[in-house]
Structure 1
């Protein structure tokens, strides 16, 4: 499958002197390159196909060191074997999902931490989209790779997990520092915004964000990463506990998890 896309590659400079590259592929997927200029080490997060990653590495003169996987879906892992063959990079992924991930050089579990050339990487268990989904958080660089759990103005469809699981996962991610950049797996933000305004119609911050998203996508610009503070202010799945959101959907006295489940149900049929 061709990796051609109209959305351009973007480069961000993170705290702790790391470089983040947002790389589109497969039309509406994103992968990320995380590069340490001091050591030359580079990690990639999720690999649906190898070719765009190999091309970007060659363009920048970078050598791939590690592959970090968030979950087992084909559009996040199908290029791993080719990329390992061409680069020799070691693969990191959830131990609980090892039976349906490419061979793991470093199996990890919730609560684990490992070092990426001196930068701490924390593993957060985020089931819901799949039961073995994990996220990677680098506290010193204020960045989290959330795959298809927390997304820009949305969250992943519940293919395997329960609403309670996903709500707990999103609640855990919501506790990260507000200045954390959320690197999610897809360019779904415009569609997510169109739905979000039906749930949170009086949210001025959401209205402003929708206008900004429309302008970005008109210029084929990516809408990710996004700041967690912006998600907290506008993402309906992170706002299911708020009285104004409950009132807007007629669930004023319902438990937070039931409100979240109803919002996710409405999105599934939107």
Structure 2
């Protein structure tokens, strides 16, 4: 049974959700909700549960901002967009991946060299069951056109270009709360990593451009944040 691993309120109106295998952040305020990422497709009930934990209903959801177009971050965004008119945003360079005009995602071929490594097969099976191979592309997704996003909840996000994991991967910094949302540019844990609780990169085969991913991770490590909210693993207070 899928369940939320942990919920952490890192600042007023900012709820970090550590999901079964990937994470999302719920911004809430002024009667509105906006998400950064939304887990796997199968995490939709958990996304809605996390919204209810803020005292609001999923009807308050107005926008989903995605760090990148992988299935475990785009999740049910397509359904929210098509059925409920929720706006979906991503960096302009990431739109082809979010819309599934291209697919920059780990394949079976990528996994073959590490198939015998402990945890690889169970992780792959769990990812498939969670909808990792489903039709998650969001044709209606729109480009982020500013360096700063003003949310309907009253929060402000600075957009940080962090290519490497995917071509247009983006991170987000909340200056008022000193909160850094890193997507998969930096994580604190993963089923295929031996350690949990420290800033690190995903295994190289997950990245579209390993050199670019390393450079982006290095830049993020210099960011002046009190909280790091990763795409995988628990929140980290610095």
Q: Same fold (TM over 0.5)?
A: yes
Q: Equivalents in 2 of 1:97, 1:124: separation in Å?
A: 13
Q: Deviations over 1:225-246 (max 9, x none)?
A: 103x3xxxxxxxxxxxxxxxxx
Comparing 148-157 with 51-60, which one deviates more in the overlay? Answer: 51-60
Q: Deviations over 1:176-210 (max 9, x none)?
A: 2142x1111123xxxxxxxxxxxxxxxxxxxxxxx
Please name the residue that 1:139 is paired with. Answer: 175
Report the TM-score, using the length of structure 1 for normalisation: 0.60
Q: Which runs of 5+ in 2 are unaligned?
A: 99-137, 189-197
Q: Equivalents in 2 of 1:31, 1:12: separation in Å?
A: 12
What aligned pairs does 1:187-202 form with structure 2 within 5 A after superposition?
187=233
Q: Equivalents in 2 of 1:93, 1:142: separation in Å?
A: 22
- Cα distance, 1:143–1:86 mapped onto 2, change above 3 Å: farther
Q: Equivalents in 1 of 2:83, 2:50: separation in Å?
A: 13
Q: Equivalents in 2 of 1:92, 1:41: separation in Å?
A: 17
Structure with more of its chain in helix, by fraction: 1
Please name the residue that 2:148 is paired with. Answer: 113
Q: Which runs of 5+ in 1 are unaligned?
A: 188-223, 230-270
Q: Indicate the structure (1 or 2) with the bigger Cα radius of gyration.
A: 1
What aligned pairs does 1:1-270 form with structure 2 within 5 A after superposition?
4-5=2-3, 7=5, 9-14=6-11, 17-24=12-19, 27-36=20-29, 39-47=30-38, 48-49=40-41, 50-58=44-52, 60-62=55-57, 63-101=60-98, 102-104=138-140, 106-108=142-144, 112-117=147-152, 118-152=154-188, 153=198, 154-158=200-204, 159-163=207-211, 165-179=212-226, 181-187=227-233, 224-227=234-237, 229=238
Report the TM-score, using the length of structure 2 for normalisation: 0.67
Aligned-residue Cα RMSD (Å) equals 2.3
